[in-house]
Chains A and B, each alone.
Chain A
Amino acid sequence: MSGDPNWNLIVERHAERVFRIAYRILGSVHDAEDVSQIVFTEAFRVQADGPVQSWTGLFARLATIRAIDHLRRRRKTLSLADDDRVSNTDAHEYAVGAELAAWLRNAASQLPEQQAAIFSLTHFEQLDRNEVAATLNISPESVSTALYKARQRLREQLSAFQGVQNQ
């Protein structure tokens, strides 16, 4: 286990971040816990294959990608009742915020995987362009391009969502 030889210490250092990333994307404590466990299991296997250069980067990447995977699978199995609940407006500010958050997660899950990951790391985890690039092992330029496309697509979807809400 390169860099840090103590697995418990690694877990202690990174658990909150892994859970937070998963929770921001998924919006469900239960699902975020499951994804976190998957991430740690996968990370443990990764380190068994060779030295890990950056645990922070590895966990951010795994948590983001696995949470998006999970979100997509969950979206496919959403029941009609769930969809109705999401689109049911409520004047209460908290309900509006919750609905916006639910909308954003649902919309992000429909983005291409890399765009979703970049959007999540940029806005949910608030990493800058170079940090996102390092985490996903891509160029900063690719981050900018993908982020631009992701925002554009989300804007379009949000306009449609607003139209439905205002009807």
Chain B
Amino acid sequence: MTNQNRPFVSTPDLDPLLESAVWSVLCEPIELSAVERVKTRAQTIPQGSHQQVRREISAPKRRRQVVAIAALAAGILLVLGATLLSTSPSNAFAQAIEQLKSAGAFRYTDISSDGQDDPIEAQVMVADDGRERRNVSGIVSLIDSDGQLRLTLIERTKTALITQPTGILHMPAQYQLRWLEQLKSHGTKPDQELGTKTLDGRTVEGFVVKQEGYEFTIWVDAKTNDLVQIESDGMIDPMEKVVMKGFQFNQTFDESLFSFEVPNGYKVFSTVK
């Protein structure tokens, strides 16, 4: 059902002048470069949607509060429970949560799947001030510490899309790291223990955390107590499954990786009106 190959056919139902007006519309050439721009922008939509999954908390202020509370909780834990933290499975959970609380700048792999499409894998870097850099198949999104998507870089076409909150197509404020805040604020005891299993060649202990209506499954290395994997349902689409793995904490990133400046050689498109 397309008119691409249909020649314009005179319509007897139309007056000649009305037909001329229709003809005038149809004679206007379609700008192919505009179609390419449409494709480029539309191909970033799934990424924006996944970003929308874990948003909402307006960020830095609350984050600082949570970090302060977390630090206090960690201090209390250190004083009261140091001797307990080496034996039971829930201590492994507590240590994993502690890793998140003192994560600093970190990186991880985020894999989203709705069970029908191929999973979408994002390589995520998080600066210690909350800015994020997400790379999905060469499409890099740079998100500020308020959770706003600011710049998208499409490496294949050397295209940069600048997004501002005032743009007509602006998505609501998003907060990628909501899962982190939720886990940090949960406390040091899991809601459920799942026992052990082998995951990527490692023996891991599983824990379930229920927080603010969301449920997370956390897998922790049984030997080292390192956080191995976090699983959750999509926060908008319950059919979506999110797996976060490959955590590397306390990283040192080059500041340029989080810059909102467009690199040289990129074509720039902006949704700013």
Residue numbers of A with Cβ under 8 A of B are 1-2, 5-8, 11-12, 15-20, 23-24, 27, 29, 32-34, 36-38, 40-41, 44-45, 48, 56-57, 60, 97-98, 100-101, 103-105, 123-127, 131, 134-135, 147, 151, 154-155, 158, 162
Interface residues of B in 35-94 (CB under 8 A from A): 35, 37-39, 41-43, 45-46, 48-49
**Which single member of A15, A20, A57, A100 contacts B42 (CB below 8 Å)?**
A15
Closest to B3 in A: A126
Q: Are B43 and A154 in contact (CB under 8 A)?
A: no
A23-B30, A56-B1 are known contacts. Are A11 and B22 too (CB-CB below 8 A)?
A: no
A127-B1, A158-B15 are known contacts. Are A6 and B25 too (CB-CB below 8 A)?
A: no
A7-B46, A123-B22, A126-B3 are known contacts. Are A101 and B35 too (CB-CB below 8 A)?
A: no
Interface residues of B in 1-20 (CB under 8 A from A): 1-4, 6, 8-9, 11, 13-15, 17-18, 20
Q: Are A34 and B43 in contact (CB under 8 A)?
A: no
| List of A residues within 8 angstroms of B34 by Cβ | 19, 23, 29, 32-33
B24 interface contact, C-beta 8 A: yes
Q: Are B24 and A97 in contact (CB under 8 A)?
A: yes
Q: Are A48 and B49 in contact (CB under 8 A)?
A: yes
Closest to A162 in B: B17
| List of A residues within 8 angstroms of B6 by Cβ | 126
A1-B114, A48-B237 are known contacts. Are A23 and B13 too (CB-CB below 8 A)?
A: no
Q: Are B30 and A16 in contact (CB under 8 A)?
A: yes
Please report the C-alpha to C-alpha distance between residue A100 and residue B17 in the assembled complex, in whole angstroms.
9
Say how far B177's CB is from chain A's closest CB, in angstroms. 22
Q: Are B21 and A158 in contact (CB under 8 A)?
A: yes
Please report the C-alpha to C-alpha distance between residue A22 and residue B24 in the assembled complex, in whole angstroms.
15
Please report the C-alpha to C-alpha distance between residue A89 and residue B116 in the assembled complex, in whole angstroms.
56
CB pairs A–B below 8 angstroms (17 shown): A1-B116, A6-B118, A7-B117, A23-B28, A23-B31, A29-B31, A37-B41, A40-B42, A48-B49, A56-B2, A98-B24, A100-B17, A104-B18, A104-B25, A123-B11, A124-B26, A134-B1
